[in-house]
Amino acid sequence: MKYTPLNKDLYIFNRQRLVKELKSNSIAVFNSNDIMPTNADGTMGFRQNNDLFYLSGIDQEESVLVIYPDFHDQKLREVLFLKETNENIAIWEGHKYTKEEAREISGITTVYWLSQFGQVFNTLMAEAEYVYLNTNEHIRAVVEVQTRDARFMSWCREHYPIHKYERVAPLMHKLRAIKSDMEIEAIRHACEITEKGFRRVLEFVKPGVMEFEVEAEYVHEFIRRRSRGFAYTPIVASGFSACVLHYIDNNKECRDGDMLLMDVGAEYANYNADMTRSIPVNGKFTQRQRNVYDAVLRVKREAMQILKPGNTIPEYHKEVGKLMESELLGLGLLDKTDIKNQNDENPAYKKYFMHGTSHHLGLDVHDVGNIYRKMEVGMVFTVEPGIYIREENLGIRLENNVVITEDGLLDLMHNIPIEVEEIEELMNA
């Protein structure tokens, strides 16, 4: 990894929180992600399973974490299993964790090689009553490949068929929705790297540059600041492409008179930023562009006022929809007849604002968390309204990352330029 490892106290604290949620005499197992193949002997870049990382800080393939808080032998209440390295692996793949390094990163005292897993696990299972297994239960997940967790689930049920099995995902969703101060600091750092990239791009963009050149400016700045790179596939969309919500081709020329929508974010230590900014390619907003931009900015600011403890995401989105409806009326995009004839299932504003305003943010960009759970202090959200006018080749979205605190919202992107005047000044400096 490129980042400096976070303090092991974070992972010790996270494991302590999980232990409080487990039933008595339970064992919980977490597997790393696989290194996924492409073609021939090619592989994709490794990305750790976020639940295992959340509990251990271990960022390496073929790793397993076993937690059994009630086991008789205290040394086996937390056990980490690692891929054992050798000279050939060191030559071809490079350094892998030593046991000492894994202890220092995770705060877990007992570390074994993966080859010892079967014997140790059998010893633990002889005493355990409940077994918590992990699955991807994000409501938008599309899982079309068999994961390491899924293979382990099949193996475990085959070898230990009469244990009582439980889902650990709901517990992880509950825990990961509330961020500790150390997690918030990691997200803040990712936001600060994202800010550096955006300020670089403001100096670079002009008519005639290609979208992929803008993308390259971001990734250069991100990586030089110890980020892996983009937190997600970047959207760099000029003109009409900004009206395609998940446009990722990034292959068009940025033309004079167009707006450029950039939905990008850096990651740091596996924690993510998620920013969107919309800027005029030529450095100067037209009056129409500014009117739409200001409308989106007003919705964003008002949405932040109602993102507070006690609200839920579905109710919050309804409230933001009313704010957007008012702005679209003011822009002449909707009229009173549209409002009168709308229905609850398909409100009129959806023609120009089709997506939600906020989602959880953390180790996953669309982080885990129950959308029906009331918002609480410590939750981190995006706030990202947009207006997309396909007939005008104009799409504008603005997005910041915020933390719900006891005193209101902490805007982790408050330093990233968003005001029209500041953007124009920086682009024309």
Residue reference for tokens 């409940």: 130
Rounded Cα–Cα distance for residues 429 and 424 (Å): 8
Could you say which of 183, 185, 263, 364 is catalytic?
263
366, 373, 392, 411: the catalytic one is 366
Neighbours of 220 (CB within 10 A): 13
376 is annotated as an active-site residue: no
Contact predicate 371/312, CB 8 Å: yes
Distance of CA 136 to the CA centre of its chain: 14
Q: Distance between terminal CA atoms of the chain? A: 36
Is 359 tagged catalytic? yes
275-289 residues labelled b (16+ CB within 10 A) or e (exposed):
bbbbbbbbbebeeeb
Question: Per this entry, what is the length of the chain?
Answer: 429
Its sign, for the CA torsion 96, 98, 104, 107, is positive
Q: Which of these is catalytic: 72, 100, 144, 246?
A: 246
246 is catalytic: yes
Active site residue 221: no
Catalytic residue of the set 183, 359, 360, 367: 359
Active-site residue, from 163, 290, 298, 355? 355
Does residue 138 carry a catalytic annotation? Answer: no
Indicate if 414 belongs to the active site.
no
Q: Decide: 191 and 413 in contact? Cβ < 8 Å.
A: yes
Verify whether residue 399 is a known catalytic residue: yes
Alpha helices in 63-180 (DSSP H): 87-92, 99-106, 117-125, 148-159, 169-176
263 tagged catalytic? yes
Alpha helices in 27-161 (DSSP H): 50-56, 87-92, 99-106, 117-125, 148-159
Residues with catalytic roles: 41, 246, 263, 274, 355, 359, 366, 384, 388, 397, 399
